[in-house]
Chain A
Amino acid sequence: KAGVTQTPRYLIKTRGQQVTLSCSPISGHRSVSWYQQTPGQGLQFLFEYFSETQRNKGNFPGRFSGRQFSNSRSEMNVSTLELGDSALYLCASSPTGSGGHQETQYFGPGTRLLVL
């Protein structure tokens, strides 16, 4: 079974631009979560989608948004990029996100975003 895939793997943008990142979960997984990873803050939860609905949200500004499609693929968008948005953006999928060890989150390799 194929793992979680994320595209693109690397991205360079300039301040003020917007960016869209894509995540394809493991086949059959319906919950997709997004995280931002930086050296100083570590992994921080952005949001979680299940059945095309945002079910949980972290403490990030409205410039960060996402969506999920009927095939469970998810995209996240960051508008008006700032230098501090440079990070590794990780996507994780699980069957339903309802918990327990059986609901292990599987992470993708991430998209590394550099904002200049």
Chain B
Amino acid sequence: QKEVEQDPGPLSVPEGAIVSLNCTYSNSAFQYFMWYRQYSRKGPELLMYTYSSGNKEDGRFTAQVDKSSKYISLFIRDSQPSDSATYLCAMNPNFGNEKLTFGTGTRLTIIP
């Protein structure tokens, strides 16, 4: 069993919809949780970074962490065609963000 599980999709939603992306994990030592966005033929770029349980909001993006359930989510409000990409969750037990453990990524398409 992988340490981090993520539904690979693909996920297609109409423009303006709320998107929910999720990951589950098995390692209770994970404390730092990240979401990356990867466009085709590009490297991943960091979207959100949270520590321990709770919510964090940044514009149209909200990250949630529930450590008791070992479950993290990324919500995208008012989705735009430019949000079409692969979204990767990543996590780390330590303060340093090297040696991240990634999910396999969810491919998201926003339909105009």
Residues of A participating in the B interface, judged by any CB pair closer than 8 Å: 4, 31, 33, 35, 39-45, 48, 55-56, 58, 90, 92, 94, 97-101, 103-110
Question: Would A42 and B96 count as touching, CB distance under 8 A?
Answer: no
A44 and B45 CA atoms in complex are apart in Å by 16
**Chain B interface size range:** 20 to 34
Nearest B residue to A112 by beta-carbon distance?
B41
**Which residues on the A side are within 8 Å of B88 (C-beta)?**
42-43
Taking the nearest CB of chain A, how far is it from the CB of B10, in angstroms?
Answer: 12
Total residue contacts A-B, CB cutoff 8 A: 68
Which of A92, A101, A104 is B43 in contact with, Cβ under 8 Å? Answer: A92
Give the distance to chain B from A73, nearest Cβ to Cβ, in Å: 17
**Complex formed: what's the CA distance from A76 to B6 in Å?**
28
Is B25 located at the chain interface by the 8 A CB criterion? no
Tell me if A41 and B104 are in contact (CB < 8 A).
Answer: yes
| Partner of A99 from B43, B45, B96, B104 at Cβ < 8 Å | B96
Instruction: Please tell me which one of the listed residues B42, B43, B98, B105 contacts residue A48 in the complex, with CB atoms under 8 A apart.
Output: B98
The residue from A42, A99, A109 contacting B41, defined by CB atoms under 8 A apart:
A109
Which of B94, B99, B104 makes the CB contact (< 8 A) with A45?
B99
